[in-house]
């Protein structure tokens, strides 16, 4: 059984109390080195993502060119068919 002067344990941890006082932890050299590695990793990840996006953009541009070619071919076939129909109608009339 606790004595008369016993105090309940604070549910907040020591780190939370330190932050509540406005104290800010100073960065350690090991943390700074880890941050540099993290930045290098982030840069590498971003470069890979950029390369993937560039490849996807190139694929979509090629797809668009192909679709434009198909559209132009269909448009030309329709134009020839209409010209043929006009020629037939003019020959009958």
Residue 4 has pLDDT above 80, yes or no: no
Separation of alpha carbons 83 and 93, rounded Å? 15
∠ CA(27), CA(31), CA(35), 5° rounding?
110
In sequence order, the 6+-apart residues with CB closer than 8 A to the CB of 27 are: 35
The pTM of the whole model exceeds 0.85: no
Domain boundaries, the chain: 26-92
CB 16 within 8 Å of CB 23: no
Render pLDDT for 31-83 as a digit per residue (tens, 0 to 9): 666 677 799 999 999 999 999 999 999 999 999 999 999 999 999 999 999 99
Residues 11, 12, 14, 15: is their CA dihedral positive or negative? positive
Residue 22 has pLDDT above 70, yes or no: no
């Amino acid at each position: 059984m606790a004595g008369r002067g016993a105090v309940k344990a604070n549910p907040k941890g020591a780190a939370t109390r330190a932050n509540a006082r406005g104290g800010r932890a100073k960065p350690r050299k090991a943390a700074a080195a880890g941050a540099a590695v993290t930045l290098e990793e982030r840069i590498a990840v971003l470069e890979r993502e950029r390369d993937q996006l560039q490849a996807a953009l190139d694929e979509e541009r090629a797809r668009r060119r192909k679709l434009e070619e198909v559209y132009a071919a269909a448009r030309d076939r329709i134009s020839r068919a209409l010209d043929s129909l006009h020629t037939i109608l003019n020959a009958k009339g």
